[in-house]
C-alpha cells in the first residue's frame, strides 16, 4: 500500500544542509498497522511528511496504492490536480490535533469535504456518520475548546477519514494524551483498521504503542531504517533491538564464568519442556534469571533469560541444542570473544 525507495530528504537552511532521510526503503502492506519508532531527530516526521508530499523528497520515490506520488509532484498543473486527489485519499492525524477553534466539531470534520467541493447535505451526512464512528455523535455542535484531549483527537481522526482514505498517517497522535486516553485512541485506530480495512502508518517514540497495536514496525536512526519487519519477524531476529525493547526480560549474570542466553518461544515451542531437557541431556545446572509471557502484535510469545555454567566456548553444544529445538537464542552476556560477534549478540 505504501512503498518508498531510496527516499532522501535534505533540508537546506542558511547555507547548512541537514540530511533528515538517507535512503529509506519502506514497505507497508495493505490493511496493516505499521509503527515507526526512533529517537528525536531520527527523521520520523520527515518520513511521514515526504510520504504525503507535504515535504518534497530530495531523492527517491513514494508510491501509495499503486500511484507514484513523486512522479505526479514533478509535473505540471494537471498532475498537480491528480496529486491533490491522491493526497485526499491519505488521511493525516497530528499530535496537536490542528482543529479550527472557531468551527464546531462537525464543521471541522466537514472541512476536507468542502475543499473537495461536496454539497452541504452530503457533507453533513458524512460528517455525522464519521462522528458516530469515532464515538462523538453527541458533540457535533460543540467547539474544540469544550472537548478533552482524547475527544479532540477523535475529531482529528474523523476529519482524516472524511476523504475515504485507504491510508491513515499518524504523527505522534497520542503523545499529548494521558496513558488511558492513549489506549482508547489506539483501540479506535485498531478498530478502524479492522472495520474499514484501513492501512495505518503511525509514528511514535513509545514502545508500548507498537506493542499494543502494530503488526509491523521499523526502527529509524539518523535518517535510516535500521530494522524493519512484522513483529513476529523482528522477534525471530537474533540481536534485534526492536525485539529486545518490545519484549524485555531482566536479570544479570551471577558471575564472570557464566553464559547468559535469552530464549524466545513462540507458538508450539512454548509448550515443550526444553530447559529440563537441556539440563538432563548435558547434565548442567541452569538458572532462570528472568522470564515473561506477553502478547505482542496479537502474538503470544514467551522469553526466558537463562544462565549456563561456563563461558560461551563451553556452551556451544547446549546452545546448538536449543537452536535445534526451533527456539530463538540470543547470547546476551557470555565471556568476551570474537565468536560472540558472529552470534549477533550484544
Ligand X SMILES: Nc1ncnc2c1ncn2[C@@H]1O[C@H](COP(=O)(O)OP(=O)(O)OP(=O)(O)O)[C@@H](O)[C@H]1O
Residues in contact with ligand X by the rule CB under 6 A: 11, 13, 18, 20, 38, 40-46, 205
Min separation Cβ 54 and ligand X, Å:
11
Which residues lie below 8 Å from residue 76, measured CB to CB, with a gap of 6+? none
C-alpha cell at 214: 502494530
Query: How far is Cα of residue 44 from the mean position of the Cα atoms in its chain?
Result: 11
Task: Name the binder of 43 from ligand X, Mg ion, none, CB < 5-8 A by kind.
Answer: ligand X
Min separation Cβ 7 and ligand X, Å:
12
Task: Name the binder of 11 from ligand X, Mg ion, none, CB < 5-8 A by kind.
Answer: ligand X
Q: Which is nearer to ligand X, 221 or 343 (CB)?
A: 221
Q: Which is nearer to ligand X, 24 or 334 (CB)?
A: 24
Interactions with Mg ion, residue window 135-154 (CB under 5 A) = none
Task: Name the binder of 20 from Mg ion, ligand X, none, CB < 5-8 A by kind.
Answer: ligand X
Q: Which is nearer to ligand X, 226 or 288 (CB)?
A: 226
- Name the one range near Mg ion by CB under 5 A: 43-51, 204-212, 223-231, 312-320: 43-51
Task: Name the binder of 18 from ligand X, Mg ion, none, CB < 5-8 A by kind.
Answer: ligand X
Which residues lie below 8 Å from residue 168, measured CB to CB, with a gap of 6+? 90, 91, 92, 93, 157, 160, 161, 189, 192, 198, 199, 200, 201
Instruction: Give the total of residues touching Mg ion (CB under 5 A).
Output: 1
Helix (H) or strand (E) segment spanning residue 121: helix 120-133
**Cβ contact 43:220 at 8 Å:** yes
The verdict on 174 binding Mg ion (CB under 5 A) reads no
**Cβ contact 305:327 at 8 Å:** no
The verdict on 4 binding Mg ion (CB under 5 A) reads no
Q: Which is nearer to ligand X, 38 or 156 (CB)?
A: 38
Q: Which is nearer to ligand X, 38 or 91 (CB)?
A: 38
Q: Tell me how many degrees the CA angle 258-288-315 measures, rounded to the nearest 5.
A: 35
Min separation Cβ 245 and ligand X, Å:
16
- Name the one range near Mg ion by CB under 5 A: 1-9, 41-49, 148-156, 338-346: 41-49
Min separation Cβ 228 and ligand X, Å:
15
In 3D, which of 159, 157, 132, 136 has the Cα closest to residue 147? 136
The verdict on 45 binding Mg ion (CB under 5 A) reads yes
Q: Kind of pairing, strands 33-38 and 199-204?
A: parallel
C-alpha cell at 31: 490493511
Local structure of 236: helix, strand or coil: coil
Q: Tell me how many degrees the CA angle 61-64-69 measures, rounded to the nearest 5.
A: 50
Task: Name the binder of 292 from Mg ion, ligand X, none, CB < 5-8 A by kind.
Answer: none
Min separation Cβ 45 and Mg ion, Å:
3
Task: Name the binder of 27 from ligand X, Mg ion, none, CB < 5-8 A by kind.
Answer: none
Q: How far is CA 326 from CA 231, 272, 332, in A?
A: 18, 11, 18
Min separation Cβ 157 and ligand X, Å:
20
Which residues lie below 8 Å from residue 318, measured CB to CB, with a gap of 6+? 278, 281, 282, 284, 308
Min separation Cβ 101 and ligand X, Å:
24
Q: Which is nearer to ligand X, 11 or 282 (CB)?
A: 11
Min separation Cβ 39 and ligand X, Å:
7
Local structure of 331: helix, strand or coil: strand
Min separation Cβ 207 and Mg ion, Å:
16
How many residues are present in the chain?
346
299-309 sheet: strands from edge to edge = 287-296, 299-309, 258-266, 328-331
Q: Which is nearer to Mg ion, 45 or 264 (CB)?
A: 45
**Residue entry with cell 488511558:** 180
Which residues would be at the binding site for Mg ion (CB under 5 A)? 45
Amino acid at each position: 500500500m505504501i512503498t518508498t525507495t531510496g527516499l532522501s530528504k535534505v533540508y537546506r537552511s542558511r547555507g547548512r544542509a541537514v540530511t533528515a532521510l538517507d535512503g529509506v526503503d519502506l514497505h507497508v502492506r495493505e490493511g496493516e498497522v505499521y509503527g515507526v519508532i526512533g529517537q528525536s531527530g531520527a527523521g520520523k516526521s520527515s518520513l511521514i511528511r515526504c510520504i504525503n508530499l507535504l515535504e518534497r523528497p530530495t531523492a527517491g520515490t513514494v508510491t501509495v496504492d499503486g500511484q507514484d506520488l513523486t512522479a505526479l509532484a514533478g509535473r505540471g498543473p494537471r498532475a498537480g490536480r491528480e496529486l491533490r486527489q491522491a493526497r485526499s485519499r491519505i488521511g493525516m492525524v497530528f499530535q496537536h490535533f490542528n482543529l479550527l477553534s472557531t468551527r464546531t466539531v462537525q464543521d471541522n470534520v466537514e472541512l476536507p469535504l468542502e475543499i473537495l467541493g461536496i454539497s452541504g447535505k452530503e457533507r453533513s451526512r458524512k460528517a455525522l456518520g464519521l462522528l458516530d464512528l469515532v464515538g462523538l455523535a453527541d458533540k457535533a455542535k460543540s467547539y474544540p475548546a469544550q472537548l478533552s484531549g482524547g475527544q479532540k483527537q477523535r475529531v482529528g481522526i474523523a476529519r482524516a477519514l472524511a476523504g475515504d482514505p485507504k491510508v491513515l498517517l499518524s504523527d505522534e497522535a497520542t503523545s499529548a494524551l494521558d496513558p488511558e486516553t492513549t489506549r482508547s485512541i489506539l483501540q479506535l485506530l485498531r478498530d478502524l483498521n479492522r472495520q474499514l480495512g484501513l492501512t495505518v502508518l503511525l509514528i511514535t517514540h513509545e514502545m508500548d504503542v507498537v506493542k499494543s497495536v502494530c503488526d509491523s514496525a521499523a526502527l529509524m536512526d539518523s535518517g535510516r531504517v535500521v530494522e524493519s519487519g512484522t513483529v513476529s519477524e523482528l522477534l525471530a531476529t537474533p540481536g534485534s533491538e526492536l525485539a529486545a525493547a518490545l519484549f524485555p526480560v531482566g536479570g544479570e549474570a551471577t558471575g564472570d564464568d557464566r553464559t547468559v542466553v535469552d530464549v524466545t518461544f513462540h507458538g508450539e515451542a512454548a509448550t515443550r519442556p526444553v530447559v529440563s531437557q537441556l539440563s538432563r541431556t548435558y547434565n548442567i545446572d541452569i538458572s532462570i534469571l528472568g522470564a515473561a509471557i506477553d502478547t505482542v502484535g496479537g502474538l503470544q510469545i514467551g522469553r526466558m533469560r537463562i544462565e549456563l555454567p561456563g563461558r560461551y566456548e563451553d556452551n556451544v553444544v547446549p546452545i546448538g541444542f536449543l537452536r535445534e529445538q526451533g527456539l530463538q537464542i540470543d547470547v546476551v552476556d557470555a565471556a568476551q570473544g570474537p565468536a560472540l560477534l558472529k552470534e549477533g549478540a550484544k
